[in-house]
């Protein structure tokens, strides 16, 4: 994406690799400071993934692929057995940098499998490099494709509500839900984006606002619980969100707060779309009931991260010490509330297990 | 309420007056510091109201009544005409300390009217003192009465969701929605209170948690947009909220986020109760459509107030400078989503204009 850094426009990506040096936009400092981290070794990249320098399903997967490519490149042993042993060790560590990120382990696995076709260590290194670049290219292709296809759903003058962060910081080059918004904007059909702030981490306030500002797309930030008000005033024409995981029956696991918006959209007869690359569909998960909801520390509810009066990033405490808090970070939106699932293969509106299975197998054929 | 201050339990109220000195709990410092402000003159009290040292419909009304009592007491002129002139001037200033707070102007008006029955300035001073105390007593009576009556709605083991702050800090001595929760707890019928944090000001995180901690009532703080999740898991048996204003048809204006919870309760077949003293019913407002929704500065959405790492209260910025934000601070819940209105006169479940008019006139008779 085009970003103004020190007064100059630069084309940058959330995660990229040049000459086996990984570059990452430090998302922890956004939107207040744009800092590109240079990560010369695979261990540096692992540390950055662990420390949330980058985040988002796509970016974490790409970072993992680049890390394994760095690792392969750094192994000087030319004995294949020794090379493979060291690579396997690195792969384990990389996959564990974010144990619950499906795209991370999938990316590492894909790169390792690609290497098996090589005979020498040099060949394996080259194949892993290629596989890592493929993962990035696949994201870019999926993002552009689903963005363009999804954008056709929006009529001129559309006012869209989105939640959390689903833009180029999360999935290259345009995001998922935000890719749809971007291409609708290019087509001149977008009038306004409502961004819900997305407590507890405020990805809406900190990241989505920043992305829409880079793209110069009109937006308004609102608190999470104001969404109902804007529905009641008929100010929302469509909801578009991303997905952390889609079950085969079409139930959607996504950032906490998604479910509420789906219920509100349903009650107000507003279409509710889920935009995600096909990799978000979990073919082994029959329904949302099977998805365990991660709970994170109560501390995140008792505090808020942001820019302190000193200019540094830090937290304020907003509740008494030791206040009990529940902090589920995802919720499940049942398929019945989803108007359409937007993927790189098109928009699925007849959502059921058979059609989703068909979609996934079609995608495997086309990419295989 | 019983509050631990410097290791000792003390019985304090959000606002009280002794020998014409007003005492207020400084709600801006809660929950991190308990400071009682001493306000010796009516101008001090006005300044405190203006600066939000106290807040909440009841507390602001009581503070206004005490301010006019202080003003009357401070006037040394014994000529009735001069006394009345100065009193009228003070009344104007007091009513304007929070121009949109209906209870404030109503309290001042009630005190002034009471004074007309007196002949001498001393008599007028005494009548105003008495009227001010009556306002406080009426709040205490209403709070206790609605709390007890409402608590009978809750079955043993109830898990209740509430929003914003509706406890003893807002209305003496038990609050409105929180009075119901308090008496249900005393009756042994309450298992857990979910408190939604209530952005942008976080009254849930800062104040309601603190009140429930004083009362030792089990609670869990959650982010605003997690409510849907807890409904979907069948963890909420009832919703109880307060009201800023109730239209005669039963539509309810209350803190932004209330409407969403009403929709969710409706969809999940969970009862949704509004608890408020009868003074919250606006007999001149036929329906929620007539209620203008106040919008506050976007800055409040871009920032969060809390305790800084330095220990002082302050704000962190959470969105880019100048990000456009919409900040409506109330929403309207249509009567069709309200299971019952809990007042000091009992619980109204057949909500319509006729029954609400009857309720208000019954209350005027009983207090008249």
Residues A342, A250 share a domain? yes
Q: How confident is the model at residue B8 (pLDDT cuts 50, 70, 90)?
A: confident
Looking at residue A366, what is its pLDDT?
A: 67
Give me the catalytic one of B129, B139, B173, B244: B244
The tally of CA atoms less than 13 A away on the side-chain side of residue B275 is 36
Residues A333, A297 share a domain? yes
Q: How confident is the model at residue A368 (pLDDT cuts 50, 70, 90)?
A: very low
- pLDDT, one tens digit per residue, over B91-119 is 999 999 998 778 999 999 999 999 999 99
Residues A172, A50 share a domain? no
Residue found under tokens 């020998």: B19
CB contact under 8 Å between A219 and B324, yes or no, is: yes
Residues B186, B298 share a domain? yes
Residues B282, B168 share a domain? yes
Looking at residue B366, what is its pLDDT?
A: 67
Torsion sign over Cα B142, B144, B150, B152: negative
Closest residue of chain A to B253, computed from CA coordinates:
A229
Residues B60, B105 share a domain? yes
Q: Domain total for chain A?
A: 2
Looking at residue B1, what is its pLDDT?
A: 81
CB contact under 8 Å between A326 and B222, yes or no, is: yes
Residues B153, B133 share a domain? no
Identify the domain containing residue A303 by its residue range.
145-367
Give me the catalytic one of A44, A173, A244, A251: A244
Which residues of A are less than 8 Å from B167 in CB distance?
none
Closest residue of chain A to B313, computed from CA coordinates:
A316
DSSP state of B206: I
Give the domain CATH number at A75: 1.20.120.420
Looking at residue B331, what is its pLDDT?
A: 97
What distances in angstroms separate CA B353 from CA B121, B137, B247, B338, one per listed residue?
43, 28, 9, 14
A246/chain B closest Cα distance in angstroms: 17
Which residues of A are less than 8 Å from B232 in CB distance?
259, 331-332
Q: What average pLDDT does this structure show over A129-138? A: 97
Closest residue of chain B to A303, computed from CA coordinates:
B306
Residues B220, B111 share a domain? no
B220 closest CB neighbour out of A221, A228, A326:
A326
CB contact under 8 Å between B319 and A31, yes or no, is: yes
CB contact under 8 Å between A256 and B327, yes or no, is: no
Helix (H) or strand (E) holding A239: strand A238-241
- Mean pLDDT across chain A: 96
B31 closest CB neighbour out of A202, A303, A320:
A320
Residues A165, A104 share a domain? no
Residue B337 is encoded by which pair of tokens? 């989503």
Residues A173, A139 share a domain? no
- pLDDT, one tens digit per residue, over A218-248 is 999 999 999 999 999 999 999 999 999 999 9
- pLDDT, one tens digit per residue, over B222-264 is 999 999 999 999 999 999 999 999 999 999 999 999 999 999 9
- On the question of pLDDT at A136 being above 70, the answer is yes
- On the question of pLDDT at A305 being above 80, the answer is yes
Looking at residue A119, what is its pLDDT?
A: 95
CB contact under 8 Å between B198 and A302, yes or no, is: no
Domain boundary among B100, B117, B143: B143
Least confident of A318-332, A354-368, B21-35, B249-263: A354-368
B71/chain A closest Cα distance in angstroms: 36
A232 closest CB neighbour out of B222, B232, B259:
B259
pTM, entire model: 0.95
Which residues of B are less than 8 Å from A205 in CB distance?
301-302, 318-319, 323
Inter-residue contact B254 to B244 (CB < 8 Å) = yes
Looking at residue A367, what is its pLDDT?
A: 57
Would you call B244 a catalytic residue per the annotation? yes
**Which one is predicted more confidently, A279 or A100?**
A279
Residues B95, B54 share a domain? yes
Q: What average pLDDT does this structure show over A280-302? A: 94
Helix (H) or strand (E) holding A3: strand A2-5
B315/chain A closest Cα distance in angstroms: 7
Closest residue of chain B to A257, computed from CA coordinates:
B225
Domain boundary among A94, A123, A143: A143
When scoring A320, A332, A336, A337 by the number of chain B Cβ atoms within 10 A, the one with the most, hence best to mutate, is: A320
Q: How confident is the model at residue B368 (pLDDT cuts 50, 70, 90)?
A: very low
Name the β-bridge partners of A315: A305
Q: What average pLDDT does this structure show over B45-70? A: 96
Domain boundary among A143, A170, A195: A143
Which residues of A are less than 8 Å from B224 in CB distance?
199, 223-225, 257
Give the three-state DSSP class for A205: helix
Closest residue of chain A to B32, computed from CA coordinates:
A320
Give the domain CATH number at B320: 3.40.50.10470
Q: What average pLDDT does this structure show over A252-267? A: 98
Inter-residue contact B251 to B332 (CB < 8 Å) = yes
Euclidean distance between CA atoms A257 and B166, whole angstroms: 24
B310/chain A closest Cα distance in angstroms: 10
Neighbours of A221 (CB within 10 A): 27
Inter-residue contact B146 to B184 (CB < 8 Å) = no
Inter-residue contact B66 to B81 (CB < 8 Å) = no
When scoring B241, B316, B322 by the number of chain A Cβ atoms within 10 A, the one with the most, hence best to mutate, is: B316
CB contact under 8 Å between A224 and B220, yes or no, is: no
Q: How confident is the model at residue A13 (pLDDT cuts 50, 70, 90)?
A: very high
- A103 CA to centre of own chain: 10
Neighbours of B354 (CB within 10 A): 10
**DSSP-derived pairing of the beta strands B340-343 and B346-348:** antiparallel
When scoring A161, A191, A195, A226 by the number of chain B Cβ atoms within 10 A, the one with the most, hence best to mutate, is: A226
Which residues of A are less than 8 Å from B305 in CB distance?
316, 318
Q: What average pLDDT does this structure show over A288-317? A: 95
Backbone phi, then psi, for A158, in 5-degree steps?
Answer: -65, 140
- pLDDT, one tens digit per residue, over A65-91 is 999 999 999 999 989 999 999 999 999
**Which one is predicted more confidently, B294 or B74?**
B74
Inter-residue contact B222 to A255 (CB < 8 Å) = no
Euclidean distance between CA atoms A348 and B193, whole angstroms: 40
**Would you list the DSSP string of A57-123?**
HHHHHHHHHHHHHHHHHH-----HHHHHHHHHHHHHHHHTTSTT-HHHHHHHHHHHHHHTT-SSHHH
Q: How confident is the model at residue A7 (pLDDT cuts 50, 70, 90)?
A: confident
Over pLDDT 70: what percentage of chain A?
99
Q: What average pLDDT does this structure show over A160-180? A: 97
- pLDDT, one tens digit per residue, over B316-356 is 999 999 999 999 999 999 999 999 999 999 999 999 999 99
CB contact under 8 Å between B326 and A197, yes or no, is: no
- On the question of pLDDT at B295 being above 60, the answer is yes
ipTM score of complex: 0.95
- On the question of pLDDT at A353 being above 90, the answer is yes
Residues B220, B106 share a domain? no
Buried b (16+ CB within 10 A) or exposed e, B122-135: eebbbbbbebbebb
């Amino acid at each position: 994406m085009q970003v103004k850094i020190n007064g100059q426009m630069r084309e940058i990506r959330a995660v990229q690799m040049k000459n086996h040096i990984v570059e990452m936009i430090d998302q922890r400092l956004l939107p207040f400071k744009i800092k590109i981290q240079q990560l010369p070794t695979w261990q540096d990249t692992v540390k950055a993934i662990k420390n949330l320098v980058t985040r988002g399903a796509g970016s974490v997967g790409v970072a993992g692929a680049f890390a394994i490519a760095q690792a392969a490149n750094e192994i000087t042993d030319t004995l294949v057995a020794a090379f493979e042993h060291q690579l396997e060790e690195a792969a384990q560590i990389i996959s564990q940098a974010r144990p619950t990120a499906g795209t991370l382990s999938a990316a590492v696995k894909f790169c390792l499998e690609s290497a098996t076709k090589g005979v020498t260590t040099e060949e394996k290194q080259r194949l892993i490099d290629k596989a890592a670049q493929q993962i990035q290219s696949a994201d870019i292709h999926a993002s552009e494709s689903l963005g363009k296809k999804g954008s056709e759903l929006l009529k001129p003058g559309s006012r869209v509500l989105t939640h959390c962060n689903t833009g180029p910081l999360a999935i290259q080059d345009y995001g998922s839900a935000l890719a749809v918004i971007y291409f609708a904007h290019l087509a001149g059909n977008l009038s306004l984006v409502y961004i819900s702030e997305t407590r507890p981490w405020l990805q809406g306030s900190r990241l989505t606002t920043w992305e829409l500002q880079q793209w110069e797309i009109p937006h308004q930030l609102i608190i999470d619980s104001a969404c109902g008000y804007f529905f009641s005033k008929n100010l929302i024409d469509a909801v578009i969100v991303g997905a952390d995981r889609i079950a085969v029956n079409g139930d959607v696991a996504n950032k906490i707060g998604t479910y509420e918006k789906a219920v509100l959209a349903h009650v107000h007869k507003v279409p509710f779309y889920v935009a995600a690359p096909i990799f978000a569909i979990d073919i082994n998960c029959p329904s949302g009931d099977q998805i365990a909801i991660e709970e994170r520390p109560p501390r995140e509810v008792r505090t808020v991260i942001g820019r302190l009066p000193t200019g540094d990033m830090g937290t304020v405490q907003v509740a008494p010490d030791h206040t009990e808090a529940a902090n589920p970070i995802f919720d499940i939106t049942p398929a019945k509330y989803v108007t359409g699932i937007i993927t790189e293969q098109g928009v699925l509106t007849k959502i059921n297990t058979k059609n989703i299975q068909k979609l996934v197998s079609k995608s495997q054929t086309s990419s295989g």
